Amino acid sequence: MKRAFVILAVALAAVSCGIYSFTGTSIQPDVNTITIPYVENKAVRINPSLSNDLTEALQEKFRKLTRLEQVDVDGDLELVCEITGYDVKATAITAEEQAAQNRLTVQVKIEFSNRKYPEDDVSNSFSAYEDFDATMSLDAVEGGLCEAIIEKLVEDIFNATVAQW
């Protein structure tokens, strides 16, 4: 019983200092707001719902895993994201020189600014992909592929910004 109390006290002390949390974030205690504007799609090939889906996924991730209030402008933190690539390429070729497997890849570029702690600013590019059978049309599988890709991108972006991994 005494051991459980000590563990609980140490855990609460770590969380109460405001810098560390059980979600893995390291946000300074005086940072309270975040701005996540609409994700622009600057890729040559456009998926019409990708910008909206990625914007919503990023906002949802920060809403669920941080204490930050989301504001439209001038947040203590700002995460600007743009889609820079959306490509499908063959990844596996059969003996008859036909595609057996295709890969959908999405690339994004982020600019993360911390107005109170500029040393935490991040500028980076990320990409994620999903493979699909070449016998399937992209139209038939695109929704599920994009959902999985967005999940990977959001996790990578979150970790690189407020989790600082």
Whether the CB-CB separation of 89 and 136 falls below 8 Å is answered with: no
pLDDT at residue number 24: 58
Residues counted in the chain: 165
pLDDT in tens, the chain (165 residues): 555 444 444 444 444 444 444 445 779 999 999 999 999 999 999 999 999 999 999 999 999 999 999 999 999 999 999 999 999 998 877 767 777 899 999 999 999 999 999 999 999 999 999 999 989 999 999 999 999 999 999 999 999 999 865
Question: Given this model, what pLDDT does residue 42 score?
Answer: 97
Residues 35 and 1: their CA atoms lie apart, in Å, by 44
CA distance 163 to 165: 6
pLDDT at 3: 54
pLDDT at 141: 96
Domains of the chain by start residue, with CATH: 31-161 (3.30.160.150)
Give the residue from 22, 23, 25, 56 showing the smallest Cα distance to 39: 56
The pLDDT value recorded for residue 12 is 42
Q: What is the pTM of this model?
A: 0.82
Rg (CA), the chain: 20
pLDDT recorded at residue 1: 56
**pLDDT at residue 163 in the model:** 85
Give the chain's largest Cα–Cα span: 70
Query: Any alpha helices (H) in 77-163, and if so which ranges?
Result: 138-161
